[in-house]
Structure 1
């Protein structure tokens, strides 16, 4: 037996209301989120807010005292970039349910989000698990490094 148009509309409205409530909860959770990262040389810890804004910067163990300005800047940039990537990945995970089509109401398709355009390719790229600094990190240019160790 097929559902009447009225039943389908009621089901769609109920799912829409549930989605709106879930979006509101997710927005609140994302507004309150912050993420930190430590530079690979363990000299700097950076915390960024949900929009990628710098919220805190710590110089760890006095290591900055023996670093050149370029080295310290590279450490700050590296940690800030990693923290921003973590924010983007968190947003992607939190928003994932809203990108999927409804199983109960096929007419309600999920959001189409270009995560790479929104957050950059680093966020959608799978982590390779490699330790240390990546060879293509932009901060290497500041130090005159080309990624070859």
Structure 2
């Protein structure tokens, strides 16, 4: 191997190590993402992880007296959704610097980065198959290979 080739290989290896170190750093940052949001009235606080899964929920002492159960549930949902949106934004901000300039971090996270709207649309629904007429059978157990 000539010294030029050796230098090129060393440069490629150094680039690979830098990229790998950067990826490890981004992975650590992503793993540490969580978001906490408190409802406007201060009675409910929700914490979620980077994927929006609820990891903590706190109620002020008077939250149960301030709301009826259905209202409290609604406040919990709205507060959790706000925390999930905040965690998603943190995820996008963490990913953006390591992505190509024209890549949308939100689309990448949602798995739609390079898909067209037609590819994302759900397939058309097919009508359900017609039911078998079980009245013509001696027993439903015949379908299981058993005999009477």
TM-score by length of 2: 0.59
- After superposition, the CA RMSD in angstroms is 2.7
- What is the distance in 2 between the residues matched to 1:35 and 1:17? 31
**3-state SS in 2 of match to 1:47:** strand
Structure 1 residues 21 and 34: CA distance shift in structure 2, 3 A: same
Larger radius of gyration: 2
What CA distance in whole angstroms lies between the structure 2 residues aligned with 1:117 and 1:11? 30
Mapping of 1:84-103 within 5 angstroms? Answer: 84-100=84-100
Q: Structure 2 matches for 1:1-149, cutoff 5 A?
A: 11=11, 13-100=13-100, 112-113=103-104, 115-116=106-107, 118=109
In structure 1, C-alpha distance between the alignment counterparts of 2:85 and 2:35, rounded to whole Å: 9
Q: CA deviation at 1:82?
A: 1.0
CA offsets 1:23-78 (integer angstroms, 9 cap, x no match): 11221222133210011232200011122211110012412323112211111111
Q: Which has the higher contact order (CA 8 A, sep 6+)?
A: 1
Structure 2 unpaired stretches of 5+: 111-148
SS of residue matched to 2:65? helix
> Relative to 1, partners in 2 of residues 1:50 and 1:114: Cα closer, same or farther, differing over 3 Å?
closer
CA shift digits 1:73-96 (9 cap, x unpaired): 111111111111111111111111
Alignment partners' CA distance in 1, 2:68 and 2:104? 41
Q: Who is 2:139 aligned against? A: none
- The verdict on how the C-alpha distance between 1:100 and 1:114 changes in structure 2, with shifts beyond 3 A counting, is closer
Aligned residues: 107
Tell me by how many angstroms 1:100 deviates. Answer: 3.3
